[in-house]
Amino acid sequence: MGWIAASQAPGALELFRKIMVASASIPGVVSPVQFDVEVDGRRYQEMHVDGGVIAQTHVYPRQILKEWERATGQPFQRELHFYVVLNGRMLPEWADTKRRTLEIGNRAIRTLVQAQGISDVDRIYATALQDGADFNLAYIGPDFSYPHSEEFDNAYMKLLYDYAYALGVSGKAWHKVPPSEASPPR
């Protein structure tokens, strides 16, 4: 995105904006963004949506440092610091679900997305251990319990912002390990 923004290429600003809109296009809630592409002389239209469909968060492919060493003949020699911000919870949470097909389906999708986010964080943590990286994780903790009934609930988002801001100011926003790796309290 930085390269596109710094580019003087015609259409760079429009492309930047389209990518930003696509990144916020939640499937089933916001329409996908169409991109005109050309591959091997043939023109296509691609639909793009929020990348959370593939992964909630990522850093780099697990084998990249091994590939670096293979390609350059030298190990990667910079310190690595991972800062992972997951806009979600890392622990399961109970929810009352009505016995209606759409509500059950909605709950199942929310649970799947949460499980995917937890799995992504665990994968990133394993990569950090493998590559000797400093791991830092921020997420919505169990101490934030304000309920929200709809996706774009302004009161909820304001309280969540205040919660995250307070954690940041207190210096308690970053966890060095995911909850799955943390020692249980004594």
* Tens of pLDDT, residues 66-120: 899 999 999 998 999 999 999 888 887 777 888 988 888 888 888 888 889 999 9
Q: Is the residue at 72 inside a domain? A: no
Do residues 118 and 32 share a domain? no
Do residues 98 and 175 share a domain? yes
Number of domains within the chain: 2
DSSP string for 18-85: HHHHHHT--TTTSPPEEEEEEETTEEEEEEE--GGGT-S---S-TTHHHHHHHHHSS---S--EEEEE
Do residues 167 and 121 share a domain? yes
Do residues 83 and 162 share a domain? yes
Do residues 92 and 162 share a domain? yes
Do residues 46 and 122 share a domain? no
Q: Is the residue at 33 inside a domain? A: yes
Q: Is the residue at 61 inside a domain? A: no
Owning domain of residue 47 = 2-53
Do residues 84 and 167 share a domain? yes
Length of the chain: 186
What is the distance between the alpha carbons of residues 131 and 65, in angstroms, rounded to a whole number? 8
Do residues 90 and 169 share a domain? yes
Amino acid at 19: I
What's the pLDDT at 186? 55
Q: Is the residue at 59 inside a domain? A: no
Q: Is the residue at 20 inside a domain? A: yes
Do residues 41 and 110 share a domain? no
Do residues 114 and 154 share a domain? yes
Q: What is the DSSP-derived secondary structure letter of residue 141?
A: -
Segments of the chain with pLDDT less than 50: none
What's the pLDDT at 184? 64
Question: CA-CA-CA-CA torsion for 155, 156, 160, 161, nearest 10 degrees?
Answer: -30
What's the pLDDT at 123? 93
Q: Is the residue at 66 inside a domain? A: no
